[in-house]
Structure formats: structure tokens, C-alpha cells
Amino acid sequence: MTRKLLALSLLLSVFTLIFSNSTLAAGSDEDKTSFIMHHVVDSHEWHFVTFGDTHVTLPLPVIVYSADRGLEFFKSSDFQNHETHKFGKEYAYEGYFIDDHDHLGRVDGASFIDFSITKNVVMMFIVLFLVAYLALSAANHYKKNGPVAPKGAAAILEPIIIFVRDEIAQKSIGPKYKKFVPYLITLFLFVWFGNLLGLIPGAANMTGNIAVTMVLAVLTFIITNVNGNKEYWKHIFMTPGVPPLMLLIIVPVEIIGLFTKPFALMVRLFVAITAGHIVILGFIALAFIFESITIGVVSTVMVTFINIIELLVATIQAYVFTLFSAMYIGSAVAEHAHDDHH
Amino acid sequence: MDLITPGSGLIFWQLFGFLGLLFILIKFAWKPMLAALEERESSIENALKAAESARNEMANLKADNEKLLAEARLERDVILRKAQEASVKMIEDAKNDALKVTAQQIENAKAVIETEKKAALTEVKNQVAILTLEVAEKLLRKNLTDQKAQKALVDEFIKDIKLN
């Protein structure tokens, strides 16, 4: 197990180096680190690697909706200089442009909504399909064979399902856990696969994107409050055991508390995954800033080490996100005494 | 794009992508899988319970068997003892009977001997009487003829008697 983990981490590190070297070959120190932020944030194109002047890039669809022009479709390469493959305001196309910070803009300044299939959207679809494929083929096993011992995809998923059901849902939510198990399993698998696939060099930092974590956190927030029972709301608006005058302070705090929970969910996953990516890429950048083989060797060792940690973090963060979602839901559906919370 | 500003496109696609995944998987994956898991768990639990009850039944059966065996043993002992007693009694009875029969037979034999003896004695008496009568007759006859001869005859007879 340890050997496999080490081998996997080393492989990831070597590939990360291969994928990043050419962007770093020349330029100022700032250029040598700019690729870090470029990797961490979303993009309208999927840039894999650059060999000299050859860019290996997947152009992605750019979808724009504006009140006056309706829905419009472009591809990201429309907005690039064909020689340098760089975005810029000067390469506007059909009234739109993508600036050098990868922001879509409109030449006349009118408002629009960007529905582009960005790098992270593609990454998300890959994760969705992987999870769906695994889950459906596992379900197929049960459909074909009935409730027998698991095999194949079912053997992979079954321990996870049982873990989420028994260790996360049942323990955090209580007797009404059954209703929420499917959501929690989906959540766990999505975040976990997103985290793991994000570690592959060249892949997108999907679960380390605040839009993705925000949507997941908001879903948990909605599920929590839709299922909130009388006691849950009473606890917020008529906090028991508090003098009426104090309620003026407590109730706003409780209401803020409603929103801090999903906010914490959103930020925790975003920060944990993004930070991991930044640290790995930072170590790689060191080698090119110092332009030293020694530093390169040290960097590789460090990147391997961080990758091991990241593999764990990927799993832990998926677990934590699911666990906290379950706990928030649990606090909303619980019927035990309020004293437990204080 | 920015690090901490969520992109509108990503929010849109993520929301609908994830919800789509959620609905597809709930309908086609998690519900049947969770149901199958539960079914399997309950079947395993039932099997364990059945095994437990079978084991208890076995234990009960064994206890019953042992009880029956013990009872049978006890009964056998009783029967044996009774048989022994009966046989002893039979032997005793047979002995007693034999003794009685023997005594009876001895008694009978004694009676027969007594009878025979009496008969023999009577016979002897009769013979003696006949002899006496014959002697008397001969004596009388000789006496009638000659005194002397009579006397000789008597002597002769007496001699005969003595010889006898």
C-alpha cells in the first residue's frame, strides 16, 4: 500500500514537471510563477503543455447569453492570436473578447452572462461520467445478480456506500438518515473523484474552484433548511433558555450561523484543494527560478511528498465535506433535547 | 479568471450537472443498491438467527436424548433387578417343591414297605399255621395206628423241625 502510494505520487510529480517545464523555460521570475495561478483558476481553454512554440490546447466552447443578442456560441480559439495562442482585448471576435486574465468581455460594455464550457466544466463532466458509470455498473451488478456478494464496480463502491451510510449518515443524522444517504454518497463520490482527478498533471483544479464548492455547499444548505423541523427553527428564532432581551442578540447570531455553516463548507474544500495545488506547483517553480539541478531534485522529492499528502487530503476533504453536510442535516432533523448543542 | 469570484458559467453547469447526476444516480443506482444491500444484510441476519435457533434446537434435542437414555438405563436396571429377583425366587420355589416331593416319596415308600412287611408277616403266619396243621394232621394219623410208631413219628417230626 505504502509502496503503491509512493509510486503513484512519484508518477504524478514527474508528470507535473513534464507538463510544466516548457512554460517556465524562459522569462522573468514572475512569468515563472504565473503558471501557478493560471493552473489553479478556471479557464476558457484547456491548455495541457507547450513544447517551444507548440501549444497543446483543447479549445472549449464559449457560450454567451445577453439580453439584446440572445444565446451565442463561439469557441475559445476564436478569441486568440493564431500565432501566439494568447488571449487579449485586441483579438475581439463578434463583439466579444477574452482578456489576458481569461475574463470574457464585451467590446461595447453591455451586460451578458457567461455560460461557457470552461476547463472546470469539462473536468466536472468527466467526473460526473466517471461517477455515473461506476455507480450504474455497480447497480447493474445488483440488478443482474440480486443481493449477492459484490464484484467489480460493486466491490469498489460497496464499502464506500456502507461507510457513508453507517459511519457518516447514520451517526451524524440519526434515525431519519435513510432519506439523505443517496445525496451524501453522490456528494462524497463527486468530491472524492474530483479531488483525485485534480491531482493528475494537466487536469483542472475543479474541486478547488469556489464556484463548484459553493454549489455543493448551497445544496447542503437547501437540504438542511428544507428538512429543518420545528425544534430546529425554534432553536434559531426562540432560542430556549435565553432571556427575551438577549434574544435580540442571539437570534441574529443564530441566523448568521445558518449561513456560516455552508460558507465554511465552501471555503474549507476550496482552500484545502487549491492550497495543495499551489504548494505542489510552487515547489516545481522553485526549480526553474533557481535554475539549479540540485533544487530540482529537492523539489521533486518535496513534490512527491506533498503528493502523498494530497492523496490523503483528497480523501479526507471528501470525507469531511460529506461528514459536515451530514452533521448540518442532522442538526436540522434531530429531535433530541437542545442541551446537546450547548 | 478569478480565484475567489465564482464564475457564472461554472455555477450554472455545476448546479445542473450535479443535480442531474444526483437524480440519475438516486433513481438508477443508489435506490436499487441500498435496497439490495439492506436485503442482503437482513438475509444474513436471518441466516445467523436461523443458525442460532438450530443450534439451540440441537442442544435441546441432545438434552432430551440424554434424558431418554438415562430413563432407559434406569428402567433397564429395574427390569434386570426384577428378573434377578424372579429367577432367585423360582430357584427357591423349585428347591422347595423338590424337597416336598422327595419327602412325599420317602413317605410313600415307607408306607409301601410297611404294607409289604405286614403282608409278608401274614404270609409267614399263614404258612406256619398250614405247617402246624399238616404236622398235626400227620401226627394224628400216626397216633391212630401205633403208640410206638406215634412216638417215633413225633420225634422224627421234632427232629425235622429242629433241622429246619
ipTM computed for the complex: 0.85
- The vertex-A166 CA angle with B24 and A197, nearest 5°, equals 50
A342 pLDDT higher than 70: no
The answer to whether the Cβ–Cβ distance between A210 and B36 falls below 8 Å is no
Nearest 10 degrees: Cα torsion A100, A36, B3, A317: 150
Residue B4 lies in a domain: no
Query: Range of B125's domain?
Result: 10-163
* Amino acid, res. B56: N
Query: In B, which residues are within 8 Å of A40 by CB distance?
Result: 3
pLDDT at A101: 80
Residue B2 lies in a domain: no
Q: Name the DSSP letter for residue A95.
A: T
For chain A, give the percent of residues with pLDDT over 90: 39
From A281, A258, A132, select the one nearest A205 (Cα to Cα): A281
Interface contact flag, A212 B22, Cβ < 8 Å: no
The whole-number mean pLDDT for each consecutive block of 10 residues of chain B, a chain of 164 residues, reads 83 93 92 88 93 96 95 96 96 95 94 94 91 84 70 78 66
Predicted local confidence at residue A322, as pLDDT:
96
Say what the pLDDT of residue B163 is. 61
What was the pLDDT predicted at B86? 95
Interface of B with A in 32-71 (CB under 8 A): 32-34, 36-37, 39-40, 43
Q: Which of A19-28, A51-60, A125-134 has the highest mean predicted lDDT (pLDDT)?
A: A125-134
- Helix axis angle for A119-145 and A210-226, nearest 10°, is 50
- Report chain A residues whose CB lies below 8 A from the CB of B43: 147
Query: Are residues A113 and B43, on separate chains, in Cβ contact within 8 Å?
Result: no
CB pairs under 8 A between A and B: 140
Q: In whole angstroms, how far apart are CA A197 and each of A12, A80, A172, A210, A314? A: 11, 28, 28, 17, 9
Name the packing angle between helices A119-145 and A181-198 (round to 10°). 130
What is the Rg, in whole angstroms, of the alpha carbon atoms belonging to chain A?
24
C-alpha cell of B92? 427357591
Measured distance CA(A35)–CA(A44) in Å, rounded? 15
Q: How many helices (H) and strands (E) does chain A have?
A: 10, 7
Domain tally, chain B: 1
A285, A35 contact by CB (below 8 A): yes
Cβ-defined contact of A161 to B34 (cutoff 8 Å): yes
> CA triplet A230, A231, A237: central angle to 5 degrees?
90
Between A191 and B1, name the one with better pLDDT.
A191
Please give the grid coordinates belonging to residue B121. 408277616
Q: What is the mean pLDDT of residues A31-55?
A: 80
Do residues A107 and A92 touch, judged by C-beta distance below 8 A? yes
Q: Phi first, then psi: what are they for A105, rounded to 5°?
A: -135, 165
Instruction: Write out the three cell numbers for A194.
Output: 474530483
With 60 as the cut, is the pLDDT of residue A318 above it?
Answer: yes
Query: CA nearest B39 in A: which residue?
Result: A147
Q: How far is A166 from A181, CA to CA, in rounded Å?
A: 9
pLDDT in tens, A286-312: 888 888 888 888 988 999 999 999 999
Indicate whether B75 belongs to any domain.
yes
The pLDDT score that the predictor gives to residue A30 is 66
Of A10-24, A159-173, B19-33, B148-162, least confident by mean pLDDT is A10-24
Q: How many CA atoms lie within 13 A of B14 on its CB side?
A: 27
Q: Is B135 a member of any domain?
A: yes
Cross-strand bridge partners of residue A46: A58
pTM: 0.76
Q: Residues A231, A329: contact at Cβ < 8 Å?
A: no
Domain assignment present for B152: yes
User: Quick one: cell of A280?
Assistant: 505542489
Name the pLDDT band for A25 (thresholds 50, 70, 90).
Answer: low
Span A117-155, pLDDT tens digits: 999 999 999 999 999 999 999 888 888 887 778 888 888
In a domain, B147, yes or no: yes
Which whole number is the average pLDDT over A182-203?
A: 93
Q: Are A33 and A285 in contact (CB under 8 A)?
A: yes
Termini Cα distance of chain B: 179
**Contact between chains at B8 and A115 (C-beta distance less than 8 A):** yes
- Cα A309 to chain centroid distance, Å, stands at 17
Number of other CB atoms surrounding residue A233 within 10 Å: 13
Q: Does any domain span residue B93?
A: yes
* Per-residue confidence (pLDDT) for residue A336, from 0 to 100: 64
Question: Are A125 and B20 in contact, with CB atoms under 8 Å apart?
Answer: no
B42, part of any domain = yes
**Nine cell digits for residue A327:** 452533521
Q: How far is CA A270 from CA A213, A273, A274, in A?
A: 6, 6, 6
Pick from B6, B12, B28: CB nearest A136: B28
pLDDT at res. A28 = 63
Question: Does A283 score more than 70 pLDDT?
Answer: yes
The pLDDT value given to residue B143: 64
Q: How far is B27 from chain A (nearest CA, A)?
A: 9
Contacts of B65 (CB under 8 A, 6+ apart): none
Which pLDDT score is estimated for A27?
58
Distances (CA, A) of B151 to A294, A311, B116, B130, B160: 190, 174, 40, 22, 14
